[in-house]
Amino acid sequence: MRRLLFSLALIAAVPAAITAASPSALASSSNPSANVTYTSSTVALQKVGTVNLSAAAPVSAAAALAGAPTAVRFGAPPVDFAKGGFAGASTISTAGAVASGNAISVQRDKQATGFEGISGPQQAAVNNGGDLEPPDQGTCAGPSDSHGTVTVEIVNNALSGYTPSGKQVLPVTPTFALFDQSSTTFLSDPRCYFDAQTQRWFFTELAINTGTSSTEYLAVSVNDNPFGNYTVFSIDTTDAANPIGDCPCFGDYDQIGADANGFYIATNEFSIQNVTGAVYNGSVVYAISKWRLATAADRGPLPSVARYQITADSFGTSVGGANNGPYHVSPASTPPDGSYANNTEYFVESNSDLFSDNHLIVYALTGTDALNHGGVPSLQATEIVSEGYAFPPNATQKNGPLPLGATVGATSPSGIAADFNAVQQVTYTNGQLYGAMDTGVGSPTPTDGIAWFNLNPSTHSHGLSVQVSGQGYVNSSQNLLYPDVVVNGSGQGYVVFSVSGPAEYPSPGYIAFDPRSGPTGNIRLATVGSAPEDGFTCYPEFIGSSTCRWGDYSGGAEWNGQFFLMAEYIPPSARDYYTNWGTFVWTPSGH
């Protein structure tokens, strides 16, 4: 979730269509190679309803924005459930920061083809004037009925669709309409994925009814048209009967992945009620047959959901322990022209409980074809030695006008939060896992850089083996925030991120990625940010903190040989009172 909200109506009841799921076939397992302990069970998938996305869209984004209120009433924002809080540069010791080598120069890419995507004011306009910060972003690309190749951007509680030239073919639309919910439903952490095998579009987002229940929503298209009909499903994530934590709970920071058989949602389970104690129960993974989901979207029978609650790992973290348990177990997805692992889905976890470490845990869910028959695949894991990584410091930004700050008498925010050293989205293709994370680089005063890695995993009769086939760092005189490795089936592509520093307003950036040598060439800016970040999360008068929140993840997708990248920046378009963020979607030069 990792975001805060000003809205007229903050929290809404979960609709009556959602019923409690009863775990069945509960089993407890441990994996000695990574000291991973988990329980597995099956839970019910519920059907919520059907939606036609084009019919649910506003008449136009411009009309929606014109009708937005010019000011919104303050409400009590939801608690930021970010684990561990934020750390400044002073919290990273010289020994904890990693070596960085020579800083890579930053250049403007005048050949990139891009356009401004969803902005803070647009998101608020279609959601009762509710401003959200930071923007949680998802990008997917694929075919459409009448527009050819399209990219769909989903940001916080809004989504939109574009052609490669930037023509908007779906007006900015609230996600409550996509998931067949009321306009007052509290939704967070959207994701999207086009699956080339099933020819279906998948969208997810979590919902919380504070104090009582939580839900994970999943919308699946009935065909390959992203702007047509969807069937909406739900998983009850309340976990009310959990004996190890203070539930009702919710699945924070949900991530998605897919292999040849299944669709996967990985979450971090926090207590809804115990805000002060910040009770955390470990990572929870949901696995569903994507083929049976496609059938269910066409009015077929509902598949069951395999559920895995991971409560301990070899990082020395366990539920109830000092470090609160396994965290941010990131599932892999495969590009549309890529090759899947044999009957296996992989996940990667870094040790974000420590300020610095040099280990990763790789998980393998094996026998995933069992999902097609209501089975529960086996989970195993192994720990490997990797390059070092460290908790990233707050980023700086170029000095400039701060109109919101001026209204509260603030001279400058204390920085932009880089959050933590956790692995973000992971991609599997051609026998390789590709991933990246924020890290502190250099010493004695580290800056925000990127740690990247290529892993070669394999499963066999003796368990799981993983070799590091490539790793390294990307850093600059500027700060690099929230990286994502976006590659095609051969592993060729880009690392996308935001750039911010003494010489740059927050801007969208990227660097080319080669499957053999990793990032190569210079850092390029797809466009240039127009001002400093100046949203409500920057000032203690609004949320009690003077560190600006930033987009928790960048994104990207490849379809039919074309890449679509997306990152947060500060656009030249009009802001509203509380936010000035925007997103930029682009195709790099040469593609």
For 245-304, write each residue's pLDDT tens digit.
788 999 999 999 999 999 999 999 988 877 555 688 899 999 999 999 999 999 999 999
pLDDT in tens, 488-505: 999 999 999 999 999 999
Alpha helix positions (H), 268-349 = 290-297
Q: How far is CA 146 from CA 57, 60, 199, in A?
A: 17, 18, 16
93-97, 309-313, 375-379: range with lowest mean pLDDT:
93-97
The rounded distance, in Å, linking the Cα atoms of 312 and 325 is 6
Q: What is the pTM of this model?
A: 0.90
The rounded distance, in Å, linking the Cα atoms of 214 and 206 is 7
Host domain of residue 455: 4-587
**pLDDT computed for residue 528 by the predictor:** 93
Q: How far is CA 159 from CA 126, 131, 173, in A?
A: 10, 15, 5
Nearest by Cα to 557 from 259, 193, 117, 313: 193
In the chain, how many domains are there?
A: 1
**pLDDT computed for residue 59 by the predictor:** 61
Average pLDDT over residues 110-132: 91
Please provide the DSSP assignment of 357-404 as one string. Answer: EEEEEEEEEE-GGGGGGT---EEEEEEEEEEEEEPPPPBP------HH
b/e code 346-366 from CB counts within 10 Å (16+ = b): bbbbbbbbbbbbebbbbbbbb
Which residues, 6+ apart, have CB-to-CB distance to 348 below 8 Å? 329, 330, 332, 360, 361, 362, 363, 423, 426, 433, 435, 455
Instruction: Answer with the residue of higher pLDDT: 92 or 176.
Output: 176
Contact 441, 100 (CB under 8 A): yes
Specify the residue for token string 């998605």.
256
Which residues, 6+ apart, have CB-to-CB distance to 85 below 8 Å? none
**pLDDT computed for residue 35 by the predictor:** 87
Nearest by Cα to 116 from 587, 588, 581, 571: 571
**pLDDT computed for residue 473 by the predictor:** 95
Nearest by Cα to 380 from 392, 363, 395: 363
**pLDDT computed for residue 102 by the predictor:** 61
Bridge partners of residue 166, in order along the sequence: none
pLDDT at 37 over 70: yes
Paired tokens of 461: 């009769």
